[in-house]
Structure 1
């Protein structure tokens, strides 16, 4: 599942009272044995667990088969890799950060950041730590 496809799937949750299946629960409990305050949402293509682990709020996304698709967490800009933080400071000084999160999936970690100025909102994504690419731009209304 590509990152863009996953992003679309992650945004389409509608809690419909469905139970979380045993495959997913078993996989989650194995991967995140010390998780606390676990809440589940059932989406069209994935199941989302929101939970606390080691003082952080995390989101884990599973396929119904129990395969872990991705783990995300909101982060502070100081938690970005140095190269990505330096690129932001160099190229986006006139923007402020409104959202920043990390996605760990398979063998990669990507970052998504929403930047806002008086004129526009930009969502950037990273592919690893090599720099930012524009994911979406929107003019201020």
Structure 2
């Protein structure tokens, strides 16, 4: 019964995703559910649920895990990043926030808006924020 359940979790993937990538994913995320695949020119992206959370895994065409991401809420940020955000960007509101795990490190990306501009900040670990991209809002 368990084999049938796990097998059906991995049954929905695009024909353009190689079996090597699918096998690597099964090994890395054996408890994954509701898996769907997208294929780009240089990567394959799995969207799946694990522990009731939607996650994304990016694989090279050779089946090597490149990164894993998940959307988070601001309360899930390390405390010093959250404090720095409130201090420096308190007048902005958050439109997107995700955590990315790659190469044994964790980064955070956050998109902020105010009335005039969008700002994307990046953090490598919990050391602080840096401006990744800034753009004026279209009027």
Q: TM-score range by the shorter chain?
A: 0.7 to 0.9
| 1:88 matched residue in structure 2 | 85
1:57 equivalenced with 2:54 (yes/no): yes
Q: TM-score with structure 2 length normalisation?
A: 0.88
RMSD between superposed Cα atoms in Å: 0.9
Secondary structure, counterpart of 2:134 in structure 1: strand
**Match for residue 117 of structure 2 among 107, 120, 135:** 120
Specify every segment of 5 or more residues in structure 1 that has no aligned partner in the other structure, as ranges: 1-16
CA contact (8 A) 1:18 1:42 kept: no
Moved over 3 A (4+): none
3-state secondary structure, aligned to 2:30: coil
For residues 1-141 of structure 1, the aligned pairs below 5 Å read: 18-141=15-138
Larger radius of gyration: 2
Alignment TM-score, normalising by the size of structure 1:
0.86
Runs of 5+ consecutive residues of structure 2 not aligned to the other structure: 1-13
Native 8 Å contact 1:73 1:102 kept in 2: yes
